[in-house]
Each structure stands twice: as C-alpha cells, then as structure tokens.
Amino acid sequence: MDFLTFITKIVDSLAWPTALIIISLSLREGIIKLIPKLRQLKYKDLSLNFDIEIQELKEQVDKTELPSIETISVHTKLEPSKNLLFKLCETYPRAAIFESWVLLEAKIGNALQNSNLITNGEKLSSSYSTIKGSEVLFAKNYPSQLNSFNSLKQLRNKVAHGELTDIKIMSAKYFVELAFRLMLFIEDTWPNN
C-alpha cells in the first residue's frame, strides 16, 4: 500500500464521523430547544417523564406520615377545592398542578401565621418566601414532609418551565392528591386559631 492509498483510506474512514460532528454542532441550538418538547427522554438514570417522576414521588409519600386523601371529608374547606381540581385535571392538567401548588403555598403561609412565626404583614411582604417558610415549618421535626414538599416543588417547576410537557390526567391527579395530603398534614399540625 502506497502513501496516497493510505491517506485516502484514512480520509474515507473519518468522513462520516466528521460529517456527524459538523451537523450536530451546526444544529446544536435546535436540538437544545427540542429536548423539552420530547415526551420522554431516558438515559441511564436520567428521565424527563412526568408520569414516572410523579409515580416515584407517590411511592415516596406513601411511606411518610401524611394523611390519606380519604380523610379530607373532615376538612370541609379543602374538599370542594380538591373536587374542583380533580375535575380540572381532566380538561387542563397543567392548570390543576399550578392551582394545587398555589393552595399549598397558601397553607404554608397560614401555618406560619397560626404558629405565630410570622405576622400577616410579613406574609404579604416581598421578603416572604414559601420555600423558606416550608423549611421553617418542616425541617426540624418533619424532614420527610419537607422532602415531599421539595419534590412537588421540583415537579411543578419542571412543568412551569416546559421541561415536562406531556402530562397525563392520572399523573396530574396524583400531583393534586399529594399536594392535598400535604395540606391535610399542615392543617392537622398547625390548625387555625
């Protein structure tokens, strides 16, 4: 084999890999924008699927000391909201997720007030943070509830930022159920004065 044949074979064997690298680099921005729109992306332990993540969270929450959703009938103010959000899951699951999150944030603020940790003025101020409030409520005595809250927050953020777009009705209902179970725990632990 002469030198020219050797060079030709090397160039020939590197042509396709080089072409793929050039194409992927030139389409990099388009590919990055496409990733959040995928229904499911899975690579080893990475999964961008709301249904899988909510099921894992439900299993985690079932191991904690949160009240079951069936006990909601005792809480007459929460039951109509839960029923309304379960119906909303059937037509607009994303909205149901956001609405249940807002109710959960409100419950945390009320619990902080009920336990005299903040005043109404502090709750209404721009420096108030539900995230910090949840840490104050849960961190010391209720770490598993804090984990549940943080997991719900991460899922809600992924939905809000378009990372999780294909949300099935049942998965949205699980999210709503888990949010209400956390609200029930908050109401039982820090009841209204």
pLDDT tens digits, 117-133 = 877 777 777 778 888 88
Question: In angstroms, how far is the first alpha carbon of the chain from the final one?
Answer: 92
Q: Which of 83-87, 99-103, 140-144 has the lowest mean pLDDT?
A: 140-144
CA distance 97 to 99: 6
pLDDT tens digits, 46-71 = 445 667 777 777 777 777 777 777 77
**Quick check: 171 and 96 in contact, CB under 8 A?**
no
Whole-number pLDDT of residue 44: 46
What integer is the mean pLDDT of 177-191?
A: 89
Alpha-carbon 61 to chain mean position: 14
